[in-house]
Structure 1
């Protein structure tokens, strides 16, 4: 990426922060008030959406193709779990029953195995998720459904064959899966979403123009494949953002200022709930049990837990681990190749990559901020 492009990225990021401040997470809507979401702020948001669309098309998409052309080896490295899971996103009915973007599940990197997930209440989705602490420093090693999940620390030292992580290992019907932009893109492609295929084809065409080569589908299961998936998603989101803004203006014009659906939970009895979100890093879910008006259990299965989890209960390696197998390291003291692949997952925490020699001695620890 050129210095000019980097500066443009930084400027766009600054505009995003200012836009969030002007919208306000929980601001009421009043077109005449200076302290709420008013007409002036709505027009500012519209101007930013237009600028963001220009950036995605003219900078982000082009940079992705250029990086793929100049670093083709990263289309062959970084292959992860090859089972992919994605939640549907952008509800269209206010009840999480229908969605603009489809979710789904793909096994063995084969798009023909795609199983659609159509709602957040899909029993196939809810019943398939478990977490194991067999290789994490917690009690209760056997797989647990999140509603029954426990998180009780039990640190007993590092062990290559035992516990070696503070992250649990989530599975979907017993399988390790990858979530995130690659999973999101592949599920939308398998579902036949036309705009996803169109945006991917545009990147492939740019890549072919630069290299004279065709970007194959098999190469998407890679470090750069995740970058491409994230770019495709952003290209689609610019259109969604325009549509969502127009829908907001129409609702305001009709006098509909509703911003959320108020829950109605009885004061007595036990109730279970789960919320899903296809976040930029992948599928996020929060699981809650309420008993007599009090939260009795709360578990979160977040994107970076899915991807950074250690070996699962069956000792299958996690997505991060699998993606690093076979990666050539030019300098073990500066394992930048490791960082490059882990960055493609966009981990949500400051991550520490530890390089250990054959005797278990740490060679170097690289902290990525």
Structure 2
């Protein structure tokens, strides 16, 4: 109460409103214009079109009601959408697994659920048909899945979320008008589509922030100053997970507690979903699949490859960086 004053609350509101103005007046129109100018490039960079997203902005303490929906879409078909409905959702909890078959970790036990996950380094140098990445390969119910703004926007649209559908129609409609031809929704399955979805998600988020600010003011007005839920620690072995729709996509943490101590802990982060190598069945990950059939104008300067991967907004801290303590050059990459 002493730190969260009315002045500070309204300063937060002014920042939300400032962001809203930028997204509405600059970001959305610019993305639509660029998409229209390069409309033919919507044929490239789709990659994996199974999409995974989790609900966000909870409206109750139990995590059973959310302002922003989430779920799973198969093969880019919005009609296949299956919702993820709560923080305890069994469909999500039982669906996640990670393979280290092509990652530099021990992989004797096949794809493992995060509760049983192992992260024991086993570096082998680069192997075309073996291990070649420090990133594991997550799957959802045995399938590779793309996460991030595109997955989030498509899942919210499939769930009938009104603000998402409104901004999606605005961006696609504006791009179609500028291009002089109708751009279908399927154009979002592309490098440019990921950028468009990121702008759409920004617009949805600022509306949600405005709603959350109003809910906060209502709570404070009713005398509710609670800032957290006091945890209850149960005895025996317990397993639990938490998820969040981060800017780059689905983030989940998994823990096994035994006799009051952490027995196992795993984090399955957004860039792991997208950057992961081939899985247990040798299916390509989203980065890898998105590069297939991409035209490259200059093999010596493959900017198209960089542009496609950049559209996922990679988090390289989610992998491991190689450092030579002798300060010798490992690799040099030139990009303009």
Q: Same fold (TM over 0.5)?
A: yes
Q: CA deviation at 1:264?
A: 0.7
1:96 aligns with 2:55: no
> Taking structure 1 as reference, are residues 367 and 349 closer, same or farther at Cα in structure 2, changes over 3 Å only?
farther
Q: Does 1:194 align with 2:162?
A: yes
d(CA) in 1 for partners of 2:318, 2:297 = 21
Alignment correspondent of 1:130: 97
Aligned to 1:146: 114
Q: Which residue of structure 1 aligns with residue 324 of structure 2?
A: none
Contact between 2:54 and 2:245, CA under 8 Å: does it hold in 1?
yes
Q: Report matched runs for 1:17-36 at 5 Å.
A: 29-30=1-2, 36=3
Query: Relative to structure 2, which stretch is displaced further, 341-350 or 86-95?
Result: 341-350
Gaps of 5+ in 2: 320-330
- Please tell me whether the aligned partners of residues 87 and 120 of structure 1 are also in contact (alpha carbons under 8 angstroms): no
Conserved? CA contact 2:36–2:178, under 8 Å: yes
Which structure ranks higher in relative contact order (CA pairs < 8 Å, sequence separation ≥ 6)? 2
The counterpart of 2:187, out of the listed 216, 219, 222, is: 219
Provide the secondary structure at the position in 2 that maps to 1:162.
coil
- Whole-angstrom distance in 2 between the partners of 1:231 and 1:77: 19
Equivalent in 31, 45, 64 of residue 31 of structure 2? 64
- Residue 307 in structure 1 maps to residue 307 in structure 2: no
- Indicate conservation of the 8 Å contact 2:272/2:318, yes or no: no
Q: Scaled by the length of structure 2, what TM-score is found?
A: 0.92
**Corresponding residue for 2:224?**
256
Residue among 1, 7, 11 paired with 1:44: 11
Query: Which residue is equivalent to 2:250?
Result: 283
Note closer, same or farther for the CA distance 1:258–1:367 as it changes in structure 2 (3 Å cut): farther
Deviation at 1:350, TM superposition (A): 6.2
Task: Give a deviation string over 1:41-68, Cα, whole Å, max 9, x none.
Answer: 1121111111111101000101111110
Give the TM-score, by structure 1 length.
0.84
Match of 1:208 among 161, 176, 191: 176
Whether contact under 8 Å (1:97, 1:118) holds in the other structure is yes
Q: What is residue 331 of structure 1 aligned with on the other side?
A: 298
Contact 1:351 1:367 in 2 (8 A): no
Computed over aligned residues only, the root mean square deviation of the Cα atoms, in angstroms, reads: 1.6
**Residues 1:79 and 2:41 are matched in the alignment:** no
